[in-house]
């Protein structure tokens, strides 16, 4: 039975609905990998709640004929100010997941960002779409591998690089520990086997029919990239805590296109990003997956956007769950948003079609919010469309 008809009389409509579908379909260790956050998950919860704390200002008897959600993000035309964030292991959430997500994003008209540690290689994704994705990078200790990744992405046609800066080491994610992802190999295998036995649909559709399951973008550079446990052990040693602003200079020498820094929460860091000569930044706390207890992105966005928004593009992620939240982010100063968990939930729960429909619904929600706020252009959305600024 399809994901649309598995609950009699109830069709998925929201990101929360698709989260339940994904939970029912994915093995627990994969669902928790996407769904979980760091330590006690305070920031994870706060991210979502913070958007709801901003009340929209409704206006009536305003000519809102011709409301237009279109805009451009980092020079790329978009049907709405939204991009799909990079998600590691997305190819395990649905059969060839990165390819399905890239096709859905292109069908709707928004950017897709391919993770360095995605399952599907860039060449496979490029073969499925007309417009190159954005490419996400971690700074690894082996700069030769980094250089090779950048050269391959550029040669494939990618022109926007999303550089994640808030991962010098991995955060403590207790759900992963409970699911055996850091346990001795024999014990981890047993825990996974028990969880996999309850998801025969995923086993057939993704585990068997969705092969190969290596880390496609690193398969040529990394020994044993097809072995998940060995690769995780390798990648954990490759995250580089010595990276500084000087490395941004090196990165810009390697990449002649657009550079966006993902993971900033501080005004001082935002000013440093301007001085480093990048074209954009993403206000982000890694979806609450790195340091628990830091501020939700909605509370940090206004000051950062005010400080540097005239000099580079300010985007935001973390807890965005609807088209109304997209409106809130724009009113608080962002040029656009990135979403992570919602697109994975939809993809895991219902595939490419579900993700396409979710994005289209969010576009309609944004259009409705604009209409009832009395604004017809994305560029005109601002703090005047909120009752209060927290």
Catalytic annotation, residues: 286
Burial 129-141 (b: 16+ CB within 10 A, else e): beebbbbbbbbbe
Q: From the centroid of its chain, how far is CA 104?
A: 14
How many other CB atoms sit within 10 Å of the CB of residue 25?
Answer: 22
How many other CB atoms sit within 10 Å of the CB of residue 367?
Answer: 18
CA distance 134 to 111: 7
Taking Cα atoms as reference points, which of 146, 168, 124, 136 lies closest to residue 222? 146
Strands 82-84 and 113-114: unpaired
Judged on CB neighbours under 10 Å (0-12, 13-18, 19+), 227 is: middle
* Tokens describing residue 49: 């709640």
Taking Cα atoms as reference points, which of 357, 349, 353, 360 lies closest to residue 6? 349
CB within 8 Å of 268: residues ≥ 6 apart: none
DSSP character for 315? E
For residue 134, the surrounding DSSP H or E stretch is strand 134-138
Packing angle between helix 97-108 and helix 341-373, nearest 10 degrees?
A: 10
**Rounded alpha-carbon distances, angstroms, from residue 23 to 17, 92, 275:** 10, 14, 43
Tell me if 55 sits within 8 A of 372, measured CB to CB. Answer: no
Tell me if 327 sits within 8 A of 56, measured CB to CB. Answer: yes
């Amino acid at each position: 039975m399809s994901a649309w008809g598995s609950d009699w009389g109830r069709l998925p409509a929201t990101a929360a609905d698709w989260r339940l579908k994904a939970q029912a379909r994915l093995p627990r260790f994969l669902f928790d990998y996407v769904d979980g956050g760091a330590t006690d998950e305070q920031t994870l919860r706060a991210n979502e709640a913070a958007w709801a704390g901003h009340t929209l200002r409704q206006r009536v008897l305003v000519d809102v004929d011709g409301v237009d959600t279109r805009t451009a993000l980092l020079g790329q035309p978009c049907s709405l100010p939204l991009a799909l964030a990079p998600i590691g292991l997305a190819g395990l959430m649905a059969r060839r997941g990165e390819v399905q997500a890239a096709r859905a994003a292109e069908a709707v008209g928004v950017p897709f960002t391919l993770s360095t540690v995605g399952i599907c290689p860039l060449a496979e994704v490029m073969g499925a779409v007309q417009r190159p994705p954005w490419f996400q990078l971690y700074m690894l200790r082996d700069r030769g591998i980094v250089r090779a990744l950048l050269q391959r992405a550029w040669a494939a046609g990618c022109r926007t690089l999303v550089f994640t800066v808030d991962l010098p080491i991995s955060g403590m994610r207790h759900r992963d520990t409970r699911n055996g992802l850091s346990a001795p190999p024999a014990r981890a295998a047993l825990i996974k086997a028990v969880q996999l036995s309850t998801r025969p649909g995923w086993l057939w559709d993704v585990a068997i029919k969705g092969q190969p399951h290596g880390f496609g973008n690193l398969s040529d550079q990394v020994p044993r990239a097809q072995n998940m446990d060995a690769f995780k052990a390798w990648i954990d040693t490759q995250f580089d805590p010595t990276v500084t602003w000087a490395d941004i200079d090196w990165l810009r020498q390697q990449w002649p296109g657009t550079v966006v820094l993902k993971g900033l929460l501080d005004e001082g860091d935002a000013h440093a990003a301007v001085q480093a000569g990048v074209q954009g930044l993403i206000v982000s706390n890694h979806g609450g997956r790195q340091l628990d207890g830091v501020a939700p992105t909605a509370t940090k966005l206004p000051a950062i956007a005010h400080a540097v928004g005239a000099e580079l593009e300010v985007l935001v992620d973390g807890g965005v769950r609807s088209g109304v939240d997209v409106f809130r982010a724009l009113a608080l100063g962002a040029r656009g948003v990135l979403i992570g968990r919602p697109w994975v939930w939809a993809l895991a729960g219902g595939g490419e079609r579900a993700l396409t429909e979710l994005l289209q619904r969010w576009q309609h929600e944004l259009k409705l919010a604009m209409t009832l706020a009395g604004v017809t252009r994305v560029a005109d959305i601002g703090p005047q469309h909120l009752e209060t600024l927290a």
